[in-house]
Amino acid sequence: MLTTRYLTGSPNWLDLGTPDLQGAAAFYGGLFGWAFQSAGPEAGGYGMFQLDGKTAAGGMTVPAERSGTAWTLYFQSTSADDTAKRVRDGGGAVEHEPSDVWDLGRMAHFTDPAGAGFATWQPGTNKGLDLVNETGALCWAELYTPETDAAMRFYRSVFGWDEFAVPLPGGDSYTTVNPAGAGEDAMFAGLVPLEADPAEAAEGPYWLPYFEVTDTDAVAASATRLGGTVRTEPIDLEDVGRIAKLADPYGARFAVITSVAREA
């Protein structure tokens, strides 16, 4: 599971690119109780979504004409420059070259060979998100991709991930990933074939973040009331929890889950 004891290859940051940061702050504030805190004028409008003063995500404005309205997941690296090289060597693309963010850390943005966007964060004084795996915070992620085996080879070459197959009813399995050598208890994401979900297949490859909530149905209803969209109605997954796939008013896709352990 996700923890703030970040390891190489584990998710350690998450941010939202949106054409209306004020509107997005109102939406997520109503949904998760987040409060937006600007990082100051020198940050170009970038800021933090916080719960009780702890950072659960970042956010920034992107031009409306861009197609960048989305959540971006960052994975920890000991060297953003080395990660960029491995991305290129593996057939991916470097969308934004590694650059320093003051003394906070070093970052870079990429797309994998299938076209899914992701990023890396090399920690400096900012070690990563303050909150994960708690109510209102990132707790899981899924990569929707045409070829899960090819995706696994790529991300293993970039971050050294291990994989673990979780059996599903009917004889299928769900490929999960975890930092190298950390064991299956450290799994933080799953890889899903695009063809397994027609709604996702229509949109193309991407990383979908999941946020923990106390009541999936109530959050889905609130998303609609606040101007968002319910992409997949709440459903139960045996021994996992109750999930729903949503989108904010500007099209950024995400999911929520009330995990079985929290229900218990």
Contact status, residue 151 vs residue 92, Cβ threshold 8 Å: no
Percent share of the chain, pLDDT over 90: 87
pTM of the predicted model as reported, rounded to 2 decimal places: 0.96
190's CB contacts (< 8 A; 6+ apart) are 140, 141, 142, 143, 166, 174, 175, 176, 177
Average the pLDDT over 68-87 and give the result. Answer: 96
The residues with which 48 forms a beta bridge, in sequence order, are: 37, 58
Question: Which domains, and CATH codes, for the chain?
Answer: 11-123 (3.10.180.10), 138-263 (3.10.180.10)
Percent share of the chain, pLDDT over 70: 97
Ranking 52-56, 112-116, 193-197 by mean pLDDT, the lowest is 193-197
Packed helices 21-32 and 216-225: angle between N→C axes, nearest 10 degrees: 150
148's CB contacts (< 8 A; 6+ apart) are 175, 191, 192, 193
In angstroms, how far is the first alpha carbon of the chain from the final one? 17
Instruction: Write down the mean pLDDT value for the chain.
Output: 95
Residue found under tokens 């491995």 = 86
Average the pLDDT over 237-255 and give the result. Answer: 95
**Which tops the pLDDT comparison, 46 or 167?**
46
- Judged against a pLDDT cut of 90, whether residue 264 lies above it is answered with no
pLDDT in tens, 36-55: 999 988 898 999 999 999 99
